[in-house]
């Protein structure tokens, strides 16, 4: 019927029936066509609705993807800013590291300066030379700057040779001078261990036969002073501490057990020499 052009006016199709049976036949055909068309229309409507929903879902996903993209771009910009800040911090840290190394080197140079001047001097006595060499030997293990350490070792070598020559030329026995002290303090002494560098940039050590490390209040005992403490020995005041205030000192020991055994004691501290005098 569609092919013959009867799809526009179903009433005309019915009215042109040739007989009652033809009318019934045409009616059934039209009814089937209308029913089929309705199914096709309903199916198209359903598909249209599904397509709209799919398009809406895709639009939502596209919007979320765009938001995610924008969020990622913002995070990338933040990461780039953080990277630049980190690079700047690294540059500043390297500068501070250089300055700190220079300050440590200057402190270590000052510590060995007096001993070097004694070794270089032509008027130094044998006891002076022995004291200078003893000081350098004690400081070598504490010095962290290679150039300063090598300088101290070189002077130990040259000073030892010079001392040997002085002893060989000495015609009378050598008598050690009685050691005098610059100042005397009554102190409370605690003990500590561990750590890598002192306030002066030296390695903390416990050397009963040489120079050990102690922490002091710089306003009482100047940093870099050589001191003597009965029961502990000679030491260099090269460290500080937040709890070390006034007439309190902290003695460096090699283990926690030694620190516990030491506890807190009343001691006498003698200043043998101030910074730059030894």
Q: Write the pLDDT tens digit of every residue in 166-183.
A: 887 764 433 334 567 989
pLDDT score for 27 = 86
- Judged against a pLDDT cut of 60, whether residue 196 lies above it is answered with yes
Question: CA Rg, the chain, in Å?
Answer: 49
Other Cβ atoms closer than 10 A to 267: 15
pLDDT band at 190 (very low <50, low <70, confident <90, very high): very high
CB 157 within 8 A of CB 121: no
Supply the DSSP string of 81-105, one letter for each residue.
HHHHHHHHHHHHHHHHHHHHHHHHH
In DSSP notation, 180-245 reads --SEEEEEEEEEE---S--TTSPPP---TTS-EEEE--TTTS-TT-EEEETTTEEEEEEE--TT--
What is the spatial distance between Cα 26 and Cα 214, in angstroms, rounded to a whole number? 120
> Would the pLDDT of 153 be above 60?
yes
Note the pLDDT of residue 170: 63
Residue bearing the bigger pLDDT, 37 or 126: 126
Q: What distance in Å separates the CA atoms of residue 275 and residue 156, rounded to the nearest whole number?
A: 20
- Does domain 183-273 fall into CATH 2.40.40.10? yes
Coil, helix or strand at residue 60: helix
Q: Please state the pTM of the whole predicted model.
A: 0.57
- Longest distance between any two alpha carbons in the chain, whole Å: 164
Identify the residue with better confidence: 150 or 17. Answer: 150
The model's pLDDT over 79-90, given as tens digits with 9 standing for 90+, comes to: 999 999 999 999
The two tokens of residue 91 are: 């540059």
230: pLDDT strictly greater than 90 = yes
Strand, coil or helix: 249: strand
The model's pLDDT over 234-266, given as tens digits with 9 standing for 90+, comes to 999 999 999 999 999 999 999 999 999 999 999
Angle 95-101-107 from CA coordinates, rounded to 5°: 140
Token pair of 121 as six digits: 């001097």
Under the banding of pLDDT at 50, 70 and 90, the label for residue 213 is: very high
Nearest to 183 by CA among 82, 277, 78: 277
Q: What percent of the chain has pLDDT over 70?
A: 93
Instruction: Give the start-to-end residue ranges of the domains of the chain.
Output: 107-169, 183-273
C-alpha torsion angle, residues 74, 80, 84, 86 (rounded to 10): 90
């Amino acid at each position: 019927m569609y092919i013959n052009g009867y799809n526009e006016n179903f009433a005309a199709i019915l009215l042109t029936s040739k007989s009652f049976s033809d009318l019934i036949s045409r009616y059934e055909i039209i009814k089937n066509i209308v029913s089929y068309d309705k199914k096709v229309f309903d199916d198209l409507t359903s598909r249209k609705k599904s397509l709209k929903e799919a398009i809406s879902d895709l639009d939502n996903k596209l919007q979320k993807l765009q938001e995610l993209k924008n969020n990622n771009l913002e995070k990338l910009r933040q990461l780039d800013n953080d990277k630049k800040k980190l690079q700047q911090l690294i540059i500043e840290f390297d500068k501070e590291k250089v300055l700190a190394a220079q300050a440590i080197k200057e402190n270590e140079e000052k510590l060995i300066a007096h001993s070097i001047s004694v070794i270089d001097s032509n008027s130094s006595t044998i006891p002076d030379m022995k004291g200078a060499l003893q000081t350098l030997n004690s400081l070598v293990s504490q010095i962290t700057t290679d150039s300063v350490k090598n300088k101290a070792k070189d002077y130990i070598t040259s000073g030892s040779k010079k001392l040997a020559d002085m002893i060989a030329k000495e015609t009378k026995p050598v008598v050690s001078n009685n050691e005098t002290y610059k100042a005397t303090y009554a102190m409370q002494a605690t003990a500590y261990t561990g750590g890598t560098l002192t306030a002066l940039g030296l390695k903390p050590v416990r050397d009963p036969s040489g120079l050990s490390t102690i922490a002091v209040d710089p306003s009482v005992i100047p940093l870099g002073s050589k001191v003597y403490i009965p029961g502990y020995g000679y030491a260099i005041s090269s460290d500080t501490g937040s709890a070390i205030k006034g007439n309190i000192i902290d003695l460096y020991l090699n283990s926690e057990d030694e620190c516990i055994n030491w506890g807190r004691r009343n001691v006498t501290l003698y200043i043998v020499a101030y910074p730059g005098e030894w």
